[in-house]
Amino acid sequence: MDNILEVSGLNKRYGDFALKDISFYLPDGCITGFVGINGAGKTTTLRSILGLTNKVSGNIKFFGMDMDGNESKIKDRIGIVLDEGCFYDELTLLEMKNVIAPAYRNWCEQDYIDYMEQFSLNPKQKINTLSKGMRMKYALALALSHKAELLIMDEPTSGLDPLVRSQLLNILKDYMGKGGKGVFFSTHITSDLEKIADMLIMIDGGEIVFQEEKDQLLDNYRIIKGSTEKLNTDTRKYFLNIEESAFGFTGITKQGSDVMEHMQDALTERPTIEDIMLANVERRKKDVN
Amino acid sequence: MLISLVKKEFLIVKKYVGIMLIVSFLIPPVMLWRMPEAAGAMGFTLTVIFSIFMLTQYVSLKEYQYPKATTLLCALPYPRKMIVLSKYCFCLIIYAVCCLVFGIDTIIFPKLGTFDIRMAAIAFLVITIPLSFYFPALYKLGYEKTKFVFVIIIMASPVLFAFLFKPENAVRFSFLDSISTTTIAILSIIIGLVTFSISAILSIRFFEKSDLT
């Protein structure tokens, strides 16, 4: 499988915050979720790979081409959905489209019209009259109407109600079905990724924590519930984090079978992506302290 | 690409374009009524300064209100260079429209005198010099800090022009009468274009190095 995006050794400093030696890749044909808590570096990473920030070191390759020297060519093949507020609110949808469409060599007006109809958007409506969900759909209509091979989205589901989020996920599935080579989207709402992602990349404190296929990742981790009596210095080492109460403990581990050897009567559960993300964040905090 | 970006500048200030068109039409006849001795050249130059700075300032204000819109434009295949150049083209178009409007004014109000190439060229030089400082400052320092420059220019220009056009000060410009109209026009346009070009290069450099939010 070819990679449609390869990032290696990406560094970027913003005051006290820094992206540290970020490396990851997006395989062809995958929906990749980019997860992390607020302030983890998701948006900074996306902006850096899109050339929106300065003084970035590292290598960024899209479709096998170096970003330096091929920026326009690469961006012509990417659909972009940034977080909220990236339009001039006083323009109509048609006017904003007329600003964006000429940037793309492969703009397909018919695709745009089809998306506008599918999303029930009126071109004469002003952007400031659209709801959050409608804005997201409009942003998608613009991002998908130039035969984009890769769709990059920054927190697209943030602030959307469950119905719109579900519609958005269906649109992404359709896009992949129609020949899209990949979707890369950052989010802290991990439940969306449970439904749709093939690959997950986690960032925390400006560092990549893991990149794994979703199913593999969910298989690797286990939630263990048991009696606190079984916890000792040796067994605690197996856990990323442990929550203790009067009734027992709940912990997340990557070494489920090792834990079960020591705690035969403990219960195991499959974790969610959110459980894994939060456990990693807490573990990293402890390691720092 | 450049045309679309210039269109975008007009679109985001579309509410004010009509108003500025009316204002630019009215400034020369109003000056003819209040200060007939300086209505022609001064009226035209003031029209150019007001129209360009007011509309440019509105564009900057809108971009300040929607900073992520600029980020989105830069995430598209538009080169940052084009985004900067569109602002300079926007000003040149407003200047051209001001020439046209003043030309119509001189037909309707013959007392304004004739609109000649020298007047147009000097006004071009007068507007390109402050703009050549304004744009790089805008890209380097941002809207908040540069809006004071704009306020100073708008407030000071009528006072400065009134001073320059007083008969006792006119003698200082009398040396211009010994130079042919064509030479003055050509020199003004060349100096204006060179200054504008250097300014554009600086603005592009500053914008290409900036981190977008």
For chain B, the domains span 2-208
The string of pLDDT tens digits covering residues A117-151 is 999 999 999 999 999 889 989 999 999 999 999 99
* Interchain pair B71, A80: CB under 8 A: no
Q: Shortest Cα distance from B61 to chain A (angstroms)?
A: 12
Residues of A in contact with B76 (CB under 8 A): 75, 80, 100, 103-104
Cβ–Cβ < 8 Å for B25, B108: no
- The CATH code belonging to domain A3-217 is 3.40.50.300
Residues of A in contact with B8 (CB under 8 A): 99
Q: In 3D, which of A168, A164, A176 has the Cα closest to residue A31?
A: A176
Q: Count other Cβ atoms within 10 Å, centred on residue B132.
A: 21
Per-residue confidence (pLDDT) for residue A227, from 0 to 100: 85
Q: What is the pLDDT along chain B (213 residues), one digit of tens a residue?
A: 899 999 999 999 998 999 999 999 998 888 888 877 777 888 888 899 989 989 999 999 999 999 999 999 999 999 999 999 999 999 999 999 999 999 999 999 888 888 888 889 989 999 999 899 999 999 998 888 888 777 777 777 777 766 766 666 655 656 666 778 788 889 999 999 999 999 999 999 999 988 887
Per-residue confidence (pLDDT) for residue A55, from 0 to 100: 66
Q: Shortest Cα distance from A29 to chain B (angstroms)?
A: 22
Per-residue confidence (pLDDT) for residue B175, from 0 to 100: 66
Q: Any idea where the domains of chain A sit in the sequence?
A: 3-217, 219-288
Per-residue confidence (pLDDT) for residue B169, from 0 to 100: 61
DSSP chain A: --EEEEEEEEEEEETTEEEEEEEEEEETTEEEEEE--TTSSHHHHHHHHTT-SSS-EEEEEETTEESTTTHHHHHTTEEEE-SS--S-TTSBHHHHHHHHGGG-TT--HHHHHHHHHHTT--TTSBGGGS-HHHHHHHHHHHHHTT--SEEEEESTTTT--HHHHHHHHHHHHHHHHTT--EEEEEES-HHHHHHH-SEEEEEETTEEEEEEEHHHHHHH-EEEEE-GGG--HHHHTTEEEEEEETTEEEEEES-HHHHHHH-TT-EEEPPPHHHHHHHHHHHHHHHH-
Per-residue confidence (pLDDT) for residue A85, from 0 to 100: 77
A19: pLDDT strictly greater than 60: yes
Question: ipTM of the assembly?
Answer: 0.88
A96: pLDDT strictly greater than 90: yes
Per-residue confidence (pLDDT) for residue A201, from 0 to 100: 95
The string of pLDDT tens digits covering residues A48-92 is 999 998 867 899 999 999 988 899 999 999 999 987 778 999 999
Q: In 3D, which of A50, A74, A54 has the Cα closest to residue A12?
A: A54
Q: CATH says A219-288 is which class?
A: alpha beta
Could you tell me the pTM of the whole model?
0.86
A216: pLDDT strictly greater than 80: yes
A91 interfacial to chain B (CB closer than 8 Å): yes
Chosen from A55, A62, A88, A96 to mutate, greatest number of chain B CBs within 10 A: A88
Per-residue confidence (pLDDT) for residue B182, from 0 to 100: 84
pLDDT tier at A36 (50, 70, 90 boundaries)? very high
The string of pLDDT tens digits covering residues A245-286 is 888 889 999 888 888 887 878 888 999 999 999 999 988 888
Per-residue confidence (pLDDT) for residue A59, from 0 to 100: 92
Chosen from B6, B76, B90 to mutate, greatest number of chain A CBs within 10 A: B76
